[in-house]
Amino acid sequence: MRQLSATRKSVLPLIGLLVILGVLIVCPLIMVFAEAVISDGRLDFSGAWTMIADSGNLQTIWNSLRLGLCVVLCSTVIAVPTAYLLARTQLAKRRWLDIIFMIPFMTPPYIASMGWILFMQKRGLFQQLFPSSGNFSEKFFCFGGLVLVMSLHVFPFLMTMMKNAISNIPASLEESGAVFGAGFGRRLRKIFAPLLTGNYAIGALLVFVKTLAEYGTPYTLGRRIGYYVFTTDIHRYSTTAPIDFGRSASLSAVLVAICMGLWLLQNHITDRCSYRLVGGKGSRPAATTLHPAGHLLAWVWAAVVALAAIGIPYFSIISTSLIHLRGYGLTPGNFTFAHYAELFTTPKSLRAIQTSLFLASASAVICSALGTAVVLAARRRKGKLGKAVEAVSLLPEMLPSIVLIIGMMLFWNAIYKTIPLYNTIGIMVLAYVALYLPYTVQYVTSAFAQINDSLMQAGRTFGGSPSYVFRRITLPMIFKGILSGWMMIFIIAFRELVTASLIAPPNVLVVSTYINREFEQGSVSLGMAMAVLCVLITTAALLIMNGLSGRKERKT
Amino acid sequence: MKKKILSLLLAGCLCLAACGQSAESSSNAESAPAPASAPAGSAEPVSLSGKVTVYMPSPSGLADKLAGAFTAKTGVEVEQFQGTTGEILARLETEKANPAADVVILASWSDGLSLKAGGLLESYTPANAGKINKGWIDADSTLFGYSASAVGVIYNTTIYPELNADWAELADVRYQGDIAIPDPEKSGACKDFLAGFSTGTDDGEDVMQSWADNGLTVPGANKAALEAVTTGEKGILIAGVDYNAYSSMARGEPLAIYYPATGTVVNPRPAMIMNTAPNMDNAKAFIDFLFSDEAQELVAAAYLLPGRSDVKCDNRSNLDEIPQITTDWDKMMEAASDIAAKLNAMCQ
């Protein structure tokens, strides 16, 4: 009897969480599918099908897939060598390189691509710096340029993943290969490649999905070269008159189907190719010492990557933010701090920063609480229900955010009469929470993976009540995971564009929409000044977090 | 020590959460209509209170100033949504089930007419109606042209010191690859010009095609297109909105503008009252305000053509100095969207 009530007690929070996540994530997704297949109150698959099979849409779908594939290839070329250098060679000792290579990821993608455009365009910064180069730089405006810019933004994901995977391969495996007479190439093929396949599949898939979901770069650069993809079309059908939600929903449904299929494929690959490399036993990390020429080459490679990923966009962004009259470009005397002064003196820009700070911190706090609750509940009661809760909470990361946002717009508009949340700042918080919940769940789960259950059992054995055990043992152990998740969410939410441009209520501007508005209707320089400020704020936040968690580590 | 840091961090999080909460609740308080028992305004015959929700297009400086002046005069808070014509229409469509807008201002007369055709507008006779330019109020008194823009040819003076080509002459090989046009599906002014140009002249569409053959590009909405010419990426902007050019020129950018001899389209920017307006009295007061001396001066200062014939501007060409194509707005309204899409297709 007591047993039964205990199980029931542990089921209740799970059901509660399932309801919350259902309203937050599942209902909007169902709305998207419903909108796609229901017309005039009747189920109508043929309508959705004709819409999808429309030649224009097929072209869009093909464009997206082609772009995703090329970006995966291109970012592999950038990320894998860099990861190897940072994991195995003398470069590994330079920890600051890790931070340098995170900068492209912290730069809002629409800003970086704007930087590239301003740099490469006719009479742009490159041609002003090197007038003798003619119109060489304009060759950038092609499909290859788009792939390059997007790869430079996403490669840090793949790089971090590969770097960790490579450092986890103990030296012993490689050495035993060498002892048995395998050459370098053979060791690469027979030891390295199979061990990394699983991780690479995850990384490549993440890059692929992120590319499909990316809106900023296709919107700025892609549109310019006439390359239209899923996200730009969905965004256009749902924000520019004549509005066609049915069409954007159909496209979204296709997008979801593609992503889901890919996740299944990736799961399959990762399952078949995962190996337990990290066990309780200590292992010796491998290190390769490059001879001087190789060492030099390694640094040249790192410098080239850093120049392309950071140097060029930031040169453009910063110089544009300082230019007084755009018509005269980079000429002496044409520089001013006036745009920065304007940022700090107009209430509109200050309000945008405030709103972004509020949204980022509020959604990060709520995500941290909700995500931790999900992980705790799912761990306490493993089984189908727990798995379901966890799976739903991770769903938003597998789907392009624009789909979830379209769903939320449809859903909250439909129930406006009951819960009038649409068109308030509340809906923005809600949307951000739904989008970023997976970060907390992942970080907390991985923090849990490192805790031995015996610690909690010890706490209980010595008579600690569940809440006492949680406060004094569990929470301190997973706190770092929660904090990392918080930080990640803060950074990404601070500069979120798609969500804000779709569901911000009237009168509400956030940093990203402010920048976008300035680009489209105001002053590009002012927009760039805001972009610089935005990056400074997120970098400062990251440094503070690094400092805090670093100090904590030393104390323990 | 560790505990201390932990508790500090937790406290920090709590503070942030609390700040968030208070920011939210205060914004709620703002949006809620003020209680009816609020002390009545001093001299106003009908005392107004609460808020008015206005959707308006750029220039954002003017929108903010109008909103501020109206609030100062009546005490009514103005909630604005600023966007391009396309975005505003989209927002209206999304909110059809729960209308929020009281007053909608668009940058395109033909889009105003299609709102009217959709039966969404309230009829009203604003104060100072007698002083409004001829034809800037429709026959049913639902569209109020409180200001107007015209499109012209804007060029970069560092590339072309002097330019006076007519529309058709811009297809000349001299300008090949150096001409741009705002995206007519985003810029209401450009859309209406193209509609007027192809319905009001004999060879409008042929000229459009010849531009496309001459390497016409579509860099984006009005401002983005002007930006391409300001930075010199392109030399000439066809159908660029004039007030943007005038304000850039006033800042010192190397730009100039002229209206080609064939004529252009002067596009009154309609302010309209939605018949679903939640704050109808405030909406009417806002329309009255748009035709007041104060608002019209603000309009002129933003380099737009004032809606009242008795307000002149000294910083730009006046209405009577601009050559115009004979326009039939009903015809244009029907054709506008198709022509806009056609131009974009030509340029792809």
pLDDT per residue over A119-150, tens digit each?
998 888 898 888 888 788 888 999 999 999 99
- B6 assigned to some structural domain: no
Flag if A521 and B221 touch (Cβ within 8 Å).
yes
Collect all residues of chain B within an 8 Å Cβ-Cβ radius of residue A242: 89, 93, 337
Of residues A261 and A383, more confidently modeled:
A261
Cα dist. B301→A306, B205, B207, B241, B298 in Å?
47, 35, 34, 16, 5
A292-314 pLDDT per residue, tens:
888 899 999 999 999 999 999 99
Length of chain B in terms of residues written = 348
How far does CA B290 lie from the centroid of its chain? 14
Using a 10 angstrom Cβ sphere, with 0-12 exposed, 13-18 middle and 19 or more buried, the burial of residue A477 is: middle
**pLDDT category, A181, cuts 50, 70, 90?**
confident
- Provide mean pLDDT across the span A335-355: 90
Q: Is the CB of residue B106 less than 8 Å from the CB of residue B88?
A: yes
In angstroms, what separates the C-alpha of A22 from chain B's closest C-alpha? 24
pLDDT tens by residue, B301-343: 999 999 999 998 888 889 989 999 988 898 998 888 899 989 9
In this complex, the residue of A124, A243, A486 whose CB is nearest that of residue B94 is: A243
What stretches of A474-537 adopt beta strand conformation (E)?
none
Residue B81 C-alpha, separation from nearest chain A C-alpha, in angstroms: 4
Residues B221 and B339 in one domain: yes
Which residue among A325, A413, A548 sits closest to B94, beta carbon to beta carbon? A413
Cβ pairs A/B, distance under 8 A: 139
Residue to mutate among B30, B89, B91, B94, with most A CBs inside 10 A, is B94
Does the CB of A467 have a partner CB in chain B at under 8 Å? no
Select from B20, B31, B89 the Cβ nearest to the Cβ of A362: B20
Q: Are residues B237 and B338 in the same domain?
A: yes
List b or e across B116-149, with b for residues whose CB sees 16 or more CB atoms inside 10 angstroms. Answer: beeebbbebebeeeeebbeebbbeeebbbbbbbb
Q: Is the pLDDT of residue B151 over 90?
A: yes
B21: nearest CA partner in chain A: A362
Measured torsion, CA atoms of residues A273, A275, A277, A281, in degrees rounded to the nearest 10: 180
* DSSP assignment string, A244-278: -HHHHHHHHHHHHHHHHHHHHHHHHHHHHT-----
Contact state of A224 with B2 under an 8 Å Cβ cutoff:
no
Helix (H, G, I), strand (E, B) or coil at A45: helix
Query: From the list A240, A365, A413, which residue is nearest B87 (CB)?
Result: A240
Flag whether residue A249 sits within 8 Å of chain B, measured between CB atoms. Answer: no
Q: In this predicted model, what pLDDT tens digit does every residue of A188-219 receive, in sequence order? A: 777 777 888 878 888 888 889 889 888 889 98
Q: Do B90 and B215 reside in the same domain of the chain?
A: no
Per-residue model confidence (pLDDT) at position A275: 65
Residue of B nearest to A414 (CA): B97
Contact A240 B185 (CB under 8 A): yes
Q: Is A350 within 8 Å of chain B by CB? A: no
Q: Closest Cα of chain B to A385: distance in Å?
A: 30
Which residue in the set B79, B81, B90 is minimally distant from A240, CB to CB? B90
Least confident of A412-421, A544-553, B99-108: A544-553
The 8 Å CB, 24+ separation contacts for A513-519 are A513/A352, A514/A348, A514/A349, A514/A352, A515/A108, A515/A110, A515/A111, A516/A110, A517/B60, A517/B82, A519/A114, A519/B223, A519/B224
Q: Which two tokens stand for residue A286?
A: 């491998």
Interface test with A, best of B226, B231, B249, B338 (most A CBs within 10 A): B231
B61 with B75, same domain? yes
Distance, in angstroms, between B205 CA and closest chain A CA? 22
Q: Is residue B250 located within the same domain as residue B166? A: yes
CA geometry: angle at B261 spanning B260 and B267, to 5°?
60
Claim to verify: residue B224 and residue B274 sit in the same structural domain: no
CB contact at 8 A, A352 and A509: yes
Provide the pLDDT confidence category of residue A484 given band limits of 50, 70 and 90.
Answer: confident
Q: Answer whether residue B10 shows pLDDT above 50.
A: no
B302 and B244: one domain? no
Nearest CA in chain B to A361: B16
**Is there a contact between A110 and A216 (Cβ–Cβ < 8 Å)?**
yes
Least confident of A109-118, A161-170, A255-264, A546-555: A546-555
- The amino acid that residue B329 corresponds to is W
Residue B285 has pLDDT above 90, yes or no: yes
Residue B33: DSSP 8-state: P
What is the chain A residue with the closest CA to B90? A241
Measured in angstroms, the CA of B105 and the nearest CA of chain A are apart by 14
Contacts of A527 (CB under 8 A, 6+ apart): A514, A515, A516, A517, A518, A519
Tell me whether residue B35 is in a domain: no
Share of chain A above pLDDT 70, in %: 92
Q: How many domains does chain B have?
A: 2
**Nearest of A64, A39, A21 to residue A257 by alpha carbon:** A64
Asked if B116 and B94 touch (Cβ cutoff 8 Å), the reply is no
For A224, name the nearest residue in chain B, comparing CA atoms only. B219
Residues B238 and B342 in one domain: yes
Does the structure show a pLDDT above 90 at A401?
no
Torsion from C-alpha of A85, A86, A91, A96, nearest 10 degrees: 150
Q: Does B300 share its domain with B331?
A: no
Q: How high is the pLDDT of residue A281?
A: 54
More confident residue, A246 or B215: B215
Lowest mean pLDDT among A7-11, A159-163, A337-341: A7-11
Mean pLDDT of B33-39: 39
pLDDT at B95 over 90: no
Residue B42 pLDDT > 50, yes or no?
A: no
- Three-state SS at B232: coil
Angle between helices A230-239 and A401-414 (to 10 degrees): 20
Distance between B50 CA and the closest CA of chain A, angstroms: 16
Q: How far apart are CA B146 and CA B127, in angstroms?
A: 12
In angstroms, what separates the C-alpha of B250 from chain A's closest C-alpha?
Answer: 11
Token output for A492: 């990404």
Classify residue B46: in a domain, yes or no.
no
Question: What residues contact B278, with CB distance under 8 A and at least 6 apart?
Answer: B53, B99, B100, B102
pLDDT in the model for residue B46: 59
Counting residues of chain A whose pLDDT is more than 90, the rounded percentage is: 22
Under the banding of pLDDT at 50, 70 and 90, the label for residue A257 is confident
In chain A, what are the domain boundaries?
341-556
Which of B240, B260, B290 lies closest to B124, judged by CA? B290
Q: Do A517 and B27 touch (CB under 8 A)?
A: no
Mean pLDDT on A27-35: 86
Distance of residue B19 Cα from the nearest chain A Cα, in angstroms: 8
* pLDDT digit string, tens, across residues A79-101: 999 998 888 888 888 878 887 88
| Beta pairing partners, B236 | B155, B179
Quote the crossing angle between the two packed helices A347-380 and B2-31, to the nearest 10°.
120
- For the A341-556 domain, the top CATH level (class) is mainly alpha
Give the whole-angstrom CA distance, residue A17 versus residue A372: 11
Q: Give the up-direction half-sphere exposure of residue B304: CA atoms within 13 A in the CB hemisphere.
A: 26
For residues B128-157, average pLDDT:
93
Q: Which residues of chain B lie closer than 8 angstroms to A325, CB-CB?
A: 251-254
Residue A524 with chain B: CB contacts under 8 Å = 227
User: According to the model, what pLDDT value does residue A324 have?
Assistant: 86
Which residue of A122, A358, A429 is in closest CB contact with B233? Answer: A122
Q: Do A416 and B98 touch (CB under 8 A)?
A: yes
Residue B55 domain flag: yes
* Class of residue A464 by CB neighbours under 10 A (exposed 0-12, middle 13-18, buried 19+): middle
Q: Which residues from chain A sit within 8 angstroms of residue B86, using beta carbons?
A: 239-241
pLDDT of B14 above 90: no
Tokens at residue B11, please? 């406290």
Residue B257 DSSP label: E
What is the model's pLDDT at position B308? Answer: 94
Phi, psi dihedral angles at B213 (to 5 degrees):
-65, -25
Same domain for B218 and B86?
A: no
Same domain, residue pair B231 and B337: yes
Please give the residue that has the higher pLDDT: either A119 or A282: A119
Task: Please provide the distance, in angstroms rounded to a whole number, between the alpha carbons at the two ends of chain B.
Answer: 65
Which element (helix H / strand E) includes A186?
helix A184-187
Q: Residue B205's domain spans which residues? A: 150-266+321-347
Strands (E) located in A22-171:
38-39, 42-43
Query: Is the model's pLDDT at B31 over the cut of 50?
Result: no
Using CA atoms of A14, A19, A22, A24 in order, give the dihedral in degrees to the nearest 10: -110
Query: By CB neighbour count within 10 A (0-12 exposed, 13-18 middle, 19+ buried), where does A357 fall?
Result: buried
Report the candidate in B101, B147, B139 with the shortest Cα–Cα distance to residue B123. B139
A residues 99-138 near B, CB within 8 Å? 118, 121-124
Distance from the Cα of A493 to chain B's closest Cα (Å) equals 15
Q: What are the chain A neighbours of B113 within 8 Å (beta carbons)?
A: none
The answer to whether A254 touches A231, Cβ cutoff 8 Å, is no
Highest-pLDDT range among A218-222, A279-283, B198-202, B237-241: B237-241
A471 CB within 8 Å of a chain B CB: no
> Do the Cβ atoms of A123 and B17 come within 8 Å?
no
B180 in the same domain as B80: no
CA angle B307, B308, B312 (to 5 degrees): 100
Residue B56 pairs with which residues in a beta bridge?
A: B82
